[in-house]
Structure 1
């Protein structure tokens, strides 16, 4: 289903998106070497419920997972990149940590992800991965204009990722979002410009470039959820929810501070 939201729903999505951004960056500020992934999940739960919001993950049970997910945030470390199910694991200085969060308020969802190095010290491999996903996200958002096509977004993202020397997986990518978290259209992280669904005002998209250093293949953890690079290489993932407007687009998941 491709959902076109009303102006009132887009306005409510602004509130949801700002909360997503604030929770993600609030958690990032609290993470330090020795932080447990289960501790991060408790922080996310407290912040979501404290704001009167609803988790999109706790009861999430799609066909590709071993559901329900049962947690409030995705936490992926180093070679993990997508659907990272929180577990009893402490992060160390230099680890590459990805946090992915989707919530709903007033009946409208928003979804975003950030990757960062635990401890904050420069780390050449981490920094290159994160920079590539952030630049790819910026390019994808720039291409997400009313009247453009999904393929324009995919091509813009893919040009940045392949230009940085990274292979691109096509199994998982961005997606439509609205009154539910995952909707059509699928937004691949590589593609051909001028192809696919034409973007219309009222469409919301979760655009999410992610990469692995030396492979485009994934493997699944025994938890049935966490997706890791097949070679054990490091990974990064950056995501924003974007609304297509008459005048262009708007990033909804920036933090307010």
Structure 2
């Protein structure tokens, strides 16, 4: 495992990338309403990315066709936008996006409820997002990677939710995926020591039911095996001597 530490100057470049990405997410948010299609969101995202002179990180990555991953309800990650998927009351939609600015990547995801979610769905979203915040607090110099992973697992499993194993967070920088992998399950005190200059994409993927997932025939879309809803939240986080800095806040 070759973990690449970033200089303060590189982290500032990644922060600029993260700010652009946050504005892309902010531009999409008002459009996530009943009656919209996931392609509507894709079109808006591309327009916003283009307005900054940035590049969509996902489009063309191993052949992925879009700037956004739009994963609906029981879709966990890597759902593809299309004009036939119309959002309706009671749905949840994960929107994952990455951009490249001046050669540096940023990556962030949010899951939205459309209309009025059920009590269980609302709890799923709240707990998944809270587990991301708990994980970020563990991203400190001298800690262990397992501390971040355990923070997610402990919080989500305590609420009876399934923690996805097949997909994990990752290091990020001049490439979308760098070492180390950042699982959402693990043991405190285990794994690589956390050092200043590490930048991680921390991304809990949590199912309302069982943890098991499968990938559909399209080769991309991952879904829960039991059909339960799945939530996904993500930030790009720099580990610094002054504590964790969320570059995509």
| TM bracket (short chain) | over 0.9
Distance in structure 2 (CA, Å) of the matches to 1:133 and 1:106:
31
- Report the alpha carbon displacement of residue 25 of structure 1 after superposing the two structures with TM: 2.5
- Matches of 1:222 and 1:85 in 2, distance apart? 13
What is the CA-CA distance between 1:122 and the residue it aligns to? 4.6
CA distance in 2, matches of 1:167, 1:122: 19
Q: Give matches, 1:211-230, under 5 Å.
A: 211-230=206-225
8 A contact 1:117–1:123 mirrored in 2: no
Corresponding residue pairs, total? 247
Shift in Å at residue 118 of structure 1?
A: 1.2
Q: CA separation in 1, counterparts of 2:138 and 2:119?
A: 29
Q: Which runs of 5+ in 2 are unaligned?
A: none
Q: Which secondary structure state, in structure 1, belongs to the residue aligned with residue 163 of structure 2?
A: coil
The corresponding residue for 2:35 is 34
**Which deviates the most, 104-113 or 123-132?**
123-132
d(CA) in 2 for partners of 1:170, 1:89: 27
- Unpaired runs of at least 5, structure 1: 62-67
Output one character per residue of 1:132-191: Cα deviation in whole Å (capped at 9) or x when no partner.
111110110011101111001111111101111112222211110011111111111111
Aligned CA distance change for structure 1 residues 225 and 122 (closer, same or farther; 3 Å): closer
The answer to whether the Cα contact below 8 Å between 2:170 and 2:182 also exists between their aligned partners in 1 is: yes
Partner SS, residue 162 of structure 2: coil
The separation in 2 between residues aligned to 1:167 and 1:228, in whole angstroms, is 13
User: Of the candidates 152, 175, 193, which is equivalent to residue 198 of structure 1?
Assistant: 193
Separation of aligned partners in 2, 1:91 and 1:223: 21
TM normalised by structure 1 equals: 0.93
Structure 1 position 13, deviation (Å): 0.9
The answer to whether the 8 A contact 1:99-1:115 is kept is yes
Divergent runs of 4+, >2 A = none
